[in-house]
Structure 1
Amino acid sequence: MEHQSFRALDRMANAWVARATGGISPQALNLAFADWALHLAAAPGKQMESVVEGWQKATELAAFAAESLYDAQTSTPAEAAPGDHRFDRDGWLKDPYRLWAQSILLIEEWLNGVTRGVPGVSRHHENVVSFTLRQWLDVWSPNNIPWANPEVVERTRATGGSNLLSGFQNWLEDWSRQVSGQPPVGTEAFQPGRDVAVTPGKVVYRNHLIELIQYSPQTDAVAAEPVLIVPAWIMKYYILDLSPHNSLVRYLVEKGHTVFCISWRNVTEEDRDLSLEDYRRMGVMAALDAVSEIVPDRKVHAAGYCLGGTLLALAAGAMAEARDNRLASMTLFAAQTDFTEPGELELFIDDSQVSFLEGMMWDQGVLESHQMAGTFQLLRSNDLIWSRMVHDYLMGERAPMIDLMAWNADATRMPFKMHSDYLRKLFLRNELATGSYVVDGRPVALQNLRVPIFGVGTERDHVAPWHSAYKIHYLVETDVTFVLTSGGHNAGIVSEPGHKHRHFRLRETNVTDPVLSAEEWFDATTPQEGSWWPEWEAWLTANSSPDKVAPPSMGAPERGYPVLGDAPGTYVLQR
């Protein structure tokens, strides 16, 4: 008890500091910069290299400025990185704007060189330092400065400054909504059950953590094996049931599948002690029990998205250990099972940062949605922060709200205990991949899985990089079909047939085939145009019984699963 009091004092101190730092651990940042600075101070060769490179960049910029005086077409010394579209518009081809753009790009190149390759610095600290300095430099990028951005200058001239007035009004509206806890402008046009999440269905089970939705059949006969979808609990489930034209749920139902989907409760501070094991037991397993009663004597195709996919893999591994053979297949959408290469999220997760987060979550009981959103925005600050600031506040325009953006603003909270379990056991200690995660006293080994697996990675995923999602090949001894699709973590999954400019790669690796590295797989797999949805639906059909059956009843009241209400249920409406 005495020790608990001391730990409570530590957590209170972290929670107090977190209010001022936005949840970023100052100790973690200080450790990273100390590691870099001390090793740089002890590396005269790296110091000399940085000075020489700095002088070369300055010389290149001076030469470019001089040549531009008499040759407006002179070649630029620096090129923007892939995906950096800050200086794409024609206005940036004219001086002095072109010179300012080149200045920031050359500084970025030099700064990247200074922070990389310092002997003795840990890779994690190197990445943290480089990322932090890049964020600081982005603040001073000329595209974010009204008088240094040619588009803003031209718009201000053309409108007599009314764009800045409109931008201030936009900022004031956004600020007032944020302070009052209201969703962003335009989200009111996308209400679950009215505009999105409208595929007909019924809630057939509810516990403290989930509602289970069974969707109404749209065909006279259906595949014998139902599909159970486990979405991530970090967001609302209807990413997979957006508008009718891009709803994966509707697509499956119309193709003759019986579909069930979990809708997670938006937890409060009273749920602080819900653990990752509770999410497995009260989430995946409770839903699977319900599906097995409503569609008895049939195996189930289980699909998990993002964190839901990680949880599904954990549950499937535990089921294999317990000889529970109710699964017909497992599908993982942009989900990680091995966290050795988690992408840029690793920047925010180390022992120091997790300890700091635990103090903040202990105080609140939950990790608030806006605290998570801030982290994801930093990972793509140019796209999600600065470009929006320029567009909405300097140009004075409003980007039209779409269903995917409205869903992205409809986030949920995560309980203290569960998120701590996830970060420590899976992210830091990688227990799922190493076979050391324990369920009911027995370690979970994914190698015990024998059901076919369908994995999906997305090319521009900053949450679950496709190289990380691909690692499922190294962890199982079963057939794996893997798809790499264009788009990011969300848009790559919401990739309905008919969506323009979509492509994907697909390859099946049988259990007897040699496993290719991710790079070898990419080079050996021919890209195909269009959506990957038909390929997945065909894979589900191929792994189902050949004969169609009559649709099951909605719910099973005689077995304790009555219809409790219409989809999308009540949990999805919680704020």
Structure 2
Amino acid sequence: MAKDPADSKDAAAPPTVDATRWAQHMQDIAARSQRLVSDFLARQAADPQVGMSDPLAIGSAFLDMTTQMMASPTKLMEAQLGLWQDYMTLWQTAARRMMGEDDVAPLAQPEKGDRRFKDEAWSENQVFDYIKQSYLLTARWMRHVVNDVEGLDPKTAAKVDFYTRQFVDALAPTNFVATNPEVLRETLESGGENLVKGLEHLLEDLERGKGQLRIQMTDDTAFEVGVNVAATEGKVIYRNELMELIQYSPRTEKVFERPLLVIPPWINKFYIMDLRPKNSLVRWLLDQGHTVFMISWINPDEKLAGKRFEDYMQEGPLTALDIVRKVTGQPTVNAIGYCLGGTLLGATMAYMAAKGDDRITSATHFVTMLDFVEPGDLGVFIDSQTLEMLDRKMAEVGYLDGSEMATTFNMLRANDLIWSFVVNNYLLGKDPFPFDLLYWNSDSTRMPAAMHSFYLHEFYEKNRLKDPGAITLEGVPIDLGKVKVPSYFISTLEDHIAPWRSTYRGVHLYSGPTRFVLSGSGHIAGIINPPNPDKPKYGYFLNSRKPKDPAAWLKGATKNEGSWWPDWQKWVSSFTGPLVEARQPGSKDFPPLEDAPGSYVRIRV
């Protein structure tokens, strides 16, 4: 049974406080706080964005929502009445519990997977149970009210819903000292030491972000690229302004004749596919017998502001195809593209189809959007006013800072990627736990201004990639319908970044044979899900039929246990060619430049 903070034995005799150390703590905190405030005010005075009262058009979206809501006051009154009725019922159930009834069913329960209320006190202590249910009822009411407003255009409705969720998540009782039983216990037992340490963590995060809050999600000192993450053996065999090309050392005596080229996104770094030996996709591919080439993108600065999407295509996969052919002697490859890397792969294959270039034999798309009509929550950030603001920002410095991208992605899962760390780091005063995935997640990258503006406007805002001839790359109008390459699409059920119902549309854009597989979990965990017979996770759905409606595809799909990786290996084996002698990295014309993972991946924001 959970220990009620008010009943703590330690509450009667709190730990002795070292007054001298406490005073020094507070003096240091005051000095650092004053410096941060002064720096913040100076930056605000110099920042042209300060003059923009609503750069993301949030206020105007809620004004539109309020206007439409007032046009139908009856619905609002009905919702308000329903909330008051729920409150009255909650009062009654709480009173029954306080009078000793044990079988009182809760009026509101957290959604499955909501870990905020995992502490036993939220259920066993009547006061905290009441606080929890009151919050859940109010949150449900707020979401219902804003989602029930008629007459809003879809973009405005999506923006209102998204920021309402942000507001609701921020107000959760778990985020405050006085209403979080775990924090109260820790405060009583430590004599408030957790709050002092939490304040120090907050100041450290503000200092690291130069006045902006950069929450430390993991112990960065626990990891080193090339040592205990991104440590699979290989060599960098080529380098240009945008990428290094890594060829990994073979792990089998024989390898497949046709090599494998992997194109990661440049919004993140490639080593999500090479974290640790037990979950490294790169290592697993080598163990299957593939000769793996990996593109490692540069973390660009202002010198590369003018790099275009076409430059990423020419200096990335097209150049890599040339190098792979010269190093291995093989004229064709199997290719994998992850997220934005998959979008680039699709655009590149359309360009190659127009040029009569057939160097890609098979293509695999990890959580890849080719049709952006339903971009999920990211669509909230895609409107003319927001894009205009981003264009101005990028024009000033030459790139979009990686930390801004990271904040956007974290907001898509705010309870897991923001508020859980607020509670752990600032309220409980705990140090972040060392976790390789979160280390990678915090290792963000910049976006060159020219490329990112094109990508946001042409792909997200105007959704032109799916339309034949609507986008021109290097003077060539491209048409995804001309792509005849056999393609494997793997998406994930809970993806907030590339929703599977959008990625599914890609199977109908190519004219070649396609296979669509849906893994459980999200954008990362659903993809980086190695086979583990002892602990199979997530599973995956298969359906050989491909109806236009993604819901119909899922309804007719069969769920399989474990990892989707073996399914992909079985599929790609039709395109690998026979076994040949293993190849060591590099060649006479392309001698190794340095050990993997190379230099570009080490450039941190």
- The alignment's TM-score, normalised by the length of structure 1, stands at 0.91
Distance 1:505 1:184 in 2: 29
Distance 1:155 1:398 in 2: 14
Distance 1:160 1:417 in 2: 54
Aligned with residue 155 of structure 1, among 168, 177, 186: 186
Match of 1:355 in 2: 388
Distance 1:314 1:393 in 2: 45
CA contact (8 A) 1:557 1:563 kept: no
- Aligned amino acid, residue 452 of structure 1: P
Aligned with residue 500 of structure 1, among 515, 520, 535: 535
Bigger mean CA deviation after superposition, 336-345 or 492-501 = 492-501
Cα distance, 1:517 vs structure 2: 2.8
Matched ranges for 1:166-565 at <5 A: 166-179=197-210, 186-435=219-468, 436-498=470-532, 500-507=535-542, 509=544, 515=547, 517-545=549-577, 547-552=578-583, 554-558=585-589, 561-565=590-594
Distance 2:399 2:565 in 1: 35
Distance 1:130 1:570 in 2: 42
- Aligned amino acid, residue 521 of structure 1: W
Match of 1:10 in 2: none
Distance 1:184 1:319 in 2: 42
Aligned with residue 66 of structure 1, among 95, 99, 110: 95
| Structure 2 SS opposite 1:218 | coil
Bigger mean CA deviation after superposition, 520-529 or 204-213 = 520-529
Distance 2:222 2:444 in 1: 17
Cα distance, 1:26 vs structure 2: 3.0
Bigger mean CA deviation after superposition, 207-216 or 515-524 = 515-524
Bigger mean CA deviation after superposition, 51-60 or 310-319 = 51-60
Match of 2:166 in 1: 135
Aligned with residue 42 of structure 1, among 51, 68, 71: 71
| Structure 2 SS opposite 1:179 | coil
Cα distance, 1:255 vs structure 2: 1.5
CA contact (8 A) 2:371 2:466 kept: yes
Q: Structure 1 pair 231/61, CA: closer, same or farther in 2 (3 Å)?
A: same
CA contact (8 A) 2:543 2:558 kept: no
Q: Deviations over 1:32-53 (max 9, x none)?
A: 1222122122223433333333
Q: Deviations over 1:198-232 (max 9, x none)?
A: 11111111111000001112222111111000001
Q: Structure 1 pair 211/345, CA: closer, same or farther in 2 (3 Å)?
A: same
Cα distance, 1:118 vs structure 2: 1.6
Distance 2:81 2:275 in 1: 54
Match of 2:40 in 1: none
Q: Structure 1 pair 259/544, CA: closer, same or farther in 2 (3 Å)?
A: same
Match of 2:30 in 1: none
| Structure 1 SS opposite 2:460 | helix
Cα distance, 1:405 vs structure 2: 1.3
Cα distance, 1:138 vs structure 2: 2.6
Q: Deviations over 1:312-341 (max 9, x none)?
A: 111111111222111111111111111111
Q: Structure 1 pair 167/373, CA: closer, same or farther in 2 (3 Å)?
A: same
Distance 1:81 1:127 in 2: 21
- The CA RMSD over aligned residues, in Å, is 2.4
In the alignment, structure 1 segments of 5+ residues that lack a partner are 1-12
| Structure 2 SS opposite 1:213 | strand
CA contact (8 A) 1:503 1:529 kept: yes
Distance 1:266 1:418 in 2: 13
Q: Structure 1 pair 539/506, CA: closer, same or farther in 2 (3 Å)?
A: farther
| Structure 1 SS opposite 2:116 | coil
| Structure 2 SS opposite 1:228 | strand
| Structure 2 SS opposite 1:401 | coil
Count of residues in correspondence between the two structures: 555
CA contact (8 A) 1:177 1:183 kept: no
- Aligned amino acid, residue 503 of structure 1: Y
- The alignment's TM-score, normalised by the length of structure 2, stands at 0.86
Distance 2:394 2:113 in 1: 34
Distance 2:149 2:512 in 1: 42
Distance 1:19 1:365 in 2: 20
Q: Structure 1 pair 19/193, CA: closer, same or farther in 2 (3 Å)?
A: farther
Q: Structure 1 pair 29/174, CA: closer, same or farther in 2 (3 Å)?
A: closer
Q: Structure 1 pair 424/262, CA: closer, same or farther in 2 (3 Å)?
A: same
